[in-house]
A = this chain, B = another copy of it.
Amino acid sequence: MPGYSVCVVGVTGAVGQELLRVLEERNFPVNNLRVCATQRSAGKQVTYRGEQLTVEETRPAVFDGIDIALFAGGAASNEFAREAATRGAVVIDNSSAFRLEPDVPLVVPEVNPEDVKWHKGIIANPNCSTIIMVVPLKPLYDAAGIRRVVVATYQAVSGAGAAAIKELEAQTKAVLAGEDYPPQVFPYQIAFNLIPHIDVFMDMDYTKEEWKMVKETQKIFHDDTIQVTATTVRVPVFRSHSEAVNVETIKPLGVEKARSLLAGAPGVVVIDDPATKQYPMPLTVTGRNEVFVGRIRQDNSLDKGLNLWVVADQLRKGAATNAVQIAELVIQYGCL
């Protein structure tokens, strides 16, 4: 098997670390790996296949000779992604910078793998909450069409990066000890609290996170008629996002048919047995690569409605796993 030159940008963050693990676990054909981050992290060591690698500062020259550049997200994407593509790398970018650009495919391999083929140097990885939602929507869409989705999210702190994980841990300890721990990453205390505000506020008083779930879903499905309305909320959970998803299909689709479609869908695992209290939870799906679906119910308020409870590790399928799957498609389709 041939190997490829791969560069991971933002390697010291929560998503960057997960990218290394997923490349290793999936036996991605790497024959040369460069690991980059901001100046602040340059010189640090990271581990890949038991080997210590030294983190370089990201700069244009690191992309020379690179086949695939995996960007973990953040400011580096705006600064270096186009440059990396110009220098011949296929960029798979986890930031929101290029997702809605018309010349950039936005790909979830279980939904729109073929979009990889028309890339012009950059392929965007969707928002974590969007990925987690569209994977189980796909089989329902194919079978019955989707008119409208009402979604409420329960998002883990690790979606806001490594510093946010530390903040939840340290702040929780402080609160339990009766001490003060002012928020730094989040706008308010997240320990034992909920914050209905992720990313910045935009049009119509929706947050950017909420608009991502609308616009990215339409782009991934190539279907502007899918209506999505979202409320996104940060919860005091370390890892794995959950979503209460209400789906209105166009054609009728009974709950048993929906269940069997979901059980057979790629990337989906159904955990749904009320009698034995089986349903997905953040704690039990963390570290897994699939999207877990439970609480599958016929909507009692609507003929063509379904309720789902969807949970997935947003650092895995919501970010690193999806990015590496895209890289695998790039190789499989020969579109490096």
Contact = CB atoms under 8 A, between A and B. Distances in A.
Nearest to A295: B196
A295 B319 CA distance: 27
A197 interface: yes
A228 to B, nearest CB: 6
A296 interface: yes
A192 B236 contact: yes
A29 B289 CA distance: 60
A118 interface: no
Contacts of A281: 188, 193-196
Interface string A201-216: 1001110000000100
A159 to B, nearest CB: 14
A201 B274 contact: yes
Contact of A302 (B148, B168, B295): B148
A275 B201 CA distance: 8
A38 interface: no
Contacts of A237: 192-194, 236
Interface in A215-236: 227-229, 231, 233, 235-236
Interface stretch (A58-66, A119-127, A169-177): A169-177
The oligomer's copy count stands at 2
A163 to B, nearest CB: 17
B152 A204 contact: no
B274 A205 contact: yes
A246 interface: yes
A301 B196 contact: no
Given A300-B229, A301-B150, A305-B229, A242 B206 contact: no
A296 B196 CA distance: 12
Interface of A: 148-150, 152, 154, 168-169, 172-173, 176, 187-189, 192-197, 201, 204-206, 214, 227-229, 231, 233, 235-238, 242, 244, 246, 255, 272, 274-275, 277, 279-283, 294-302, 305, 307, 309, 311
